[in-house]
Structure 1
């Protein structure tokens, strides 16, 4: 069954209410591979309850309604779906425990043409369940590589801008543990593409690939660490394009352009394979004085 544009565009999603706490924060960070050096305090801060900090990109696993593209009435060939882009706007830093409501809408479905796939753009607003305050807005572009040619619009939301031509100012290498995808999926994204070799081969990969949002979280950790050990609560925006698969066991290199101090640009590569895997990264950090004034 091909994509029915009007039906899918108007698809309704039930609100997802989720309570979370320190154990969930720790599990998320362990799924990224943090804690592999027990003597590294910068990693320990995210995986140890004494002085625990929440990595802001944990927002991507909160209020998540699951891998809905797998449902038969979507018309999507779910085995062909890969993550194209992810954006995050943080309106108020998340605490290490709370109760949140995820509210998802489909913003657009872009038809790239027969044989070129479809781009499904969604937005998930994350609200404090008790107060109704908007905490974060998450945007996502899921590329369904087998579903173009259904007659939808040819253009959609804009992508992150290109990176500077100059060499990066800093870089940080991070070794991804071989079991990272199997741990990360316990935070809610159970797409078998990241666990089952047979499903991975069916999708055109020789083995299970890492979740795009796992490499996204690693990139955020690396960026904060390179930005003079920035307080994670300073992160206000984190956008990226996924350009190639990452595999568990890869060494991920995050390259950073410091820009004007508030806005930084970044990308991630896997030097051993000579490939850029996260591209056109754009992040915004609040001024430290702003954080001090609101703390």
Structure 2
């Protein structure tokens, strides 16, 4: 079944209402690697080490998430072969300490790269406070549909990535991906079996299940929060990045960071850049 561009561009995804509070915030932070040092009180504020739990700044990407909607056969998408290409986020207001949030996702673009070259699907989510209607964050995603090019769609426009500095980075930050991290992160709303089932990963061409792109995103966000924001979430205002390779649970991520907010992340064991063209908007 081929992609129907009119269907995808006009799909009406339902709003997703989600309760939030200390448990949701702590589990998210734990799922992106915080808390591995139980003596670091700067991290403990996000994972429940104290009376209250601060929302980790990258959590809007998973709140109000519509789930793995591209697995619906009506989309015509080869869901086994899709990969997360880019992710961005702008924070407008802090998440409530507890309450309800509402996410509304809409498709904003579809690019046909041609037969055998795949397609790019762009979508955006607005996250609002369920009680006040306040806009909390706008998240932006690009998905590379590896098996779905050549359906006769538009060839553009394509998002331009951030240009990286040519100097050496000012900071580096290392983080270990726990062996079971993808199995934990799945409960953040992304139940794609590519990340948990070996046979599905093999069918997609991977030797074993891969880490969720948004988990890698969260780990890079941790590196940026630690180095450029001194663990102060109010200074973390927006982020954009491009995923350039997969990450496997059990590997080690090193994020290379510049003072202007530019960053990239590599896997140390393979010396492979997995996030590139990153830029953080921070105070």
TM-score in terms of structure 1 length: 0.93
Match of 2:157 in 1: 156
Match of 1:55 in 2: 56
| 1:134-213 mapped onto 2 (5 Å cutoff) | 134-213=135-214
Match of 2:17 in 1: 17
Unaligned regions of 5+ residues in structure 2, if any?
A: none
1:265 Cα deviation from its structure 2 partner: 0.7
1:131 Cα deviation from its structure 2 partner: 1.7
Q: Distance in 2 between matches of 1:97 and 1:247?
A: 33
Match of 2:122 in 1: 121
1:93 Cα deviation from its structure 2 partner: 1.6
SS in 2 for 1:79: coil
SS in 2 for 1:52: coil
Correspondence for 1:273 among 261, 270, 273: 270
1:157 Cα deviation from its structure 2 partner: 4.5
Q: Distance in 1 between matches of 2:146 and 2:119?
A: 6
CA contact (8 A) 1:25 1:96 kept: no
Match of 2:39 in 1: 39
1:146-181 CA deviation, whole Å, 9 max, x = no partner? Answer: 000001111135233121111111101111111111
Unaligned regions of 5+ residues in structure 1, if any?
A: 287-295
Match of 1:229 in 2: 230
Q: Distance in 1 between matches of 2:213 and 2:220?
A: 11
The reply on whether 1:257 has 2:254 as its aligned counterpart is no
Match of 2:80 in 1: 79
CA contact (8 A) 1:172 1:253 kept: yes
Match of 1:244 in 2: 245
Q: Cα RMSD between the aligned structures?
A: 1.1
1:253 Cα deviation from its structure 2 partner: 0.3
1:37 Cα deviation from its structure 2 partner: 1.7
1:251-294 CA deviation, whole Å, 9 max, x = no partner? Answer: 100110102xxxx11110012101000001111113xxxxxxxx
Q: Distance in 2 between matches of 1:53 and 1:121?
A: 30
SS in 1 for 2:109: strand
Q: Distance in 2 between matches of 1:121 and 1:228?
A: 29
Q: Distance in 1 between matches of 2:111 and 2:149?
A: 8
1:56 Cα deviation from its structure 2 partner: 1.1
1:82-140 CA deviation, whole Å, 9 max, x = no partner? Answer: 10000100111213322111111100111011111111100000011222221100010
Match of 2:219 in 1: 218
Match of 1:293 in 2: none
TM-score in terms of structure 2 length: 0.97
List 4+ stretches of structure 1 deviating above 6 A.
none
CA contact (8 A) 1:160 1:282 kept: no
